Structures are given as structure tokens and as C-alpha cells.
Amino acid sequence: MRWSSLIVFLGCASWEVAASAAKLVPGKAFDRLITIWLENQDYANVILEPSITDLKRRGILATRFYAHTHPSQPNYLAAIGGDYFGLDHDDMVHIPENVSTVVDLLEHKNVSWGAYMEDLPGPGYMGNYSEGQEGIGGNWDYVRKHNPFVSYDSVTMKGDRLLKLESFNDFQRAFKAKTLPQFVFMTPNMMNDGHNSSNKFAADWSHKFVQPLLAENAFDEKTLILLTYDESEDYSQPNHIVTLLLGSAIPPALKGTEDSTFYTHYSMLSTMENNWELPNLGRYDVGANVFKFVADASGYKNNQDPENAPTVNNSVSYPGFLNGDPKKKLPIPIPNTKLIGAGGLPILDKIKVAWSGATRDKSWQTPYDGSGRVCDGDRNPPIYNPSKSNVKGTSI
């Protein structure tokens, strides 16, 4: 009697495991994306670090990857929201609930996600910073400016989303239990990300940190690890940063190679849209080049280099809703509801509905045209036009 009920119990448990594994949404080139963000280093210096040179052998080096502006915070916000809304500082900001992020796109398709911030004192913590284990002289280790999720009300106003912002300890637990979500955003603390240490420190830390993630049996699913920097250190240069693509999703023949396609932090968004056939945000996500090995796997055709690339000065923020200069404050631009993104789909329906009131007002135009043109606060400001499709011969 006891044995048979045990068998029933075990049978039930394995059925549940099978059921949860079946919920994984397979992608065209990867089933999981883990992105790890380091701080403030120039491309030219990073590629000289032995730890990075060693990692490069095991993946693809993106040689023309650019951040959007300075300082840190706008770059993080851009990577999940498809714009940085003119932000030019690191202080606390709030973006209203009617602005969507990648979270809305992923949840629409039931692709699981989570964000892990080292030294976050507890799930969903919304404070400005927190002291961890490594801070020097009582200083903080976790900083809100490196956690883009807490600045979007569309994340923080929903308890279940807020609870998905966790610490590195939670990451390690989920990794060991093989329960990591399919999109994972990771911010190391201010020492490990290099902000308060050095180029070498961050490179060595990363090398050590990713070893278990690169091990043969680390994941059952095809996993892409995107090791990137938020911005360059030198503000007089065009914000050229190192990004390495690693993990079991990299085709063996491409290990140790370079990819010279033009990318920005918006490429992470367009790549996920392409990989999982997600709708789009109607912002700068549309038109950003998809990582080549993913585009090749899905048959997607990237844009050429942005025509204004040589004159871009990605060191200064354009005017916008979050700009600290009152003279440079503008309303949040309406998303372009007529764009088709790299997932082959239009804007997420919910976004179209949320902004339908605004589109009726003819004075509102949009800077998002799906062309991949790069904008800065110098010679290449956003250009506002009526919403227009980026696909010839269509009118949605």
C-alpha cells in the first residue's frame, strides 16, 4: 500500500516536470538568452585583456557594437524599452505604465524571464542602492541605475513582475535546479562589473563567472550568453564597446570568429523578437540589426549600416521626456504602430491600444521609422514624422 502510493506520487512529480519543460518556447537560434552587463570600458582596451581574449576563442566577437549615450542609466533603459527617452543622468526615474518593455513582448508569447542583480537585498527592491559584501568604506554595491526594470512602471506596478527582480544568489539556485527563465538579465555589483574596480578586474571576474555556464552539461536548452558593456569609458570617442556572444547556441564553426555587423543595445531586442517571433515595441527596436548568426538561422535580412553612422556622436543624449535640462524636455514619443519588426509581426496589440488616444492627435509625430538610423544629441537628433510603414507596399 505504501509502495503503491509512493509510485503514484513519483509518477505525478515527473509528470509535472515534463509539463513545465513543455512550456519552454523554442527559438530559431537559441532557447535562452543570458545577458551580463559590465561597465565603462573602451573596445580598444577590453580586447587586450587576456581573460577576454580567452573567452573570444569560445564565441563570436562583435567588432562594431555601439552604446547609445552617457552616462550608464540610459543605456540600460534602452536595452529593454527601445528608447532612452532623452535621459542624460543616473538619478531615479519613473517611466509611465503605458510604456512597454521586452517584458510585455515575452509574456505575450509565454517566454519566461528574470533579472538578477548582484547584492539586491531582496526581490523587487526599489531603493536607489544597497550595500553588499564588497563595498569599500561602507559604500554601496547594488545600484538602481544599473537595473533598468525598476524604472518602468509597467514592471513595478505588477507584483508578479516585480518579484522577478532577484539577486545573484537566486540566480545560482535557479541555475543549479535547471529552472532559469528563458530571458535572463544580469547586473554584477559595482566591483565585479568594473565600475569601481578596473578593466582587468571585470574581465577576470567575467571569465570566472561564465565558466560553469559554458560547461558541457550546464543547460539542457540551447543557450546564448551575451557579455556586454553598458558604454565606453572615453566620452570623446563614439561609444564603441565589446560584446561577446558565447554559449551552447553558438554554431561550432563560428567559435573564435568576428562579426562586423553594426549593432547597438537595441540589437538585443530585435534579436529576441526575431528568435521567438515576438511582436515589436514600435520604437528603436524596429530596424536594429539582428545578431548575424541568428538572422542567418531565421533567414532574416538585416539593414545595411545606418547611413549616418560615420557622423554619430553617441556621447550626448538627445532631448526627451527624461532629459534633466528643462529646455530639452519633450513628451514621450508615440510608438509607430505601422512598423513590422524582426519577428515578422506588427506592434504588440496592447501597446497600440494604450496609445490609440494619442495617435488621433495630428500634432503628435513619431521618431521611430524602422530604418536603423542612429540618433544622438549632437548632429543626428531624432526626426519626427507621421507614422509610416517600413515594409514597402503595406499599410496597416
- What is the spatial distance between Cα 173 and Cα 24, in angstroms, rounded to a whole number? 19
Contact status, residue 281 vs residue 337, Cβ threshold 8 Å: no
Contact status, residue 164 vs residue 113, Cβ threshold 8 Å: yes
Closest CB to ligand NAG among residues 168, 293: 168
DSSP code per residue over 175-217 = HHTT---SEEEEE--TTTTSTTS-HHHHHHHHHHHHHHHHSTT
Closest CB to ligand NAG among residues 113, 291: 113
Q: Is 227 helix (H, G, I), strand (E, B) or coil?
A: strand
CB of 336 to ligand NAG, least distance (A): 14
Closest CB to ligand NAG among residues 168, 291: 168
Q: What CA–CA distances, in Å, run from 61 to 13, 55, 195?
A: 42, 9, 22
CB of 57 to ligand NAG, least distance (A): 32
Q: For residue 146, give the DSSP letter.
A: G
Q: For cell 543605456, what's the residue?
A: 75
CB of 105 to ligand NAG, least distance (A): 11
Closest CB to ligand NAG among residues 8, 126: 126
Residues 6+ away with beta carbon under 8 Å from 135: 141, 190, 191
Contact residues for ligand NAG, defined by CB under 6 A: 90-92, 96, 98, 109-110, 128-129, 135-136, 139-141, 143, 145, 190, 196, 236, 313, 315-316, 355, 357-358, 378
CB of 258 to ligand NAG, least distance (A): 25
Closest CB to ligand NAG among residues 90, 233: 90
Q: Is 161 helix (H, G, I), strand (E, B) or coil?
A: helix
CB of 60 to ligand NAG, least distance (A): 29
CB of 125 to ligand NAG, least distance (A): 13
Closest CB to ligand NAG among residues 58, 109: 109
- What is the spatial distance between Cα 336 and Cα 333, in angstroms, rounded to a whole number? 9
DSSP code per residue over 106-121 = HHHTT--EEEEETT-S
Of 43, 47, 63, 64, the residue nearest 55 (C-alpha): 47
The three three-digit cell numbers of residue 106, written as one number:
515575452
Q: How far is CA 76 from the centre of its chain?
A: 7
Closest CB to ligand NAG among residues 85, 355: 355
CB of 298 to ligand NAG, least distance (A): 18
CB of 211 to ligand NAG, least distance (A): 25
Closest CB to ligand NAG among residues 98, 308: 98
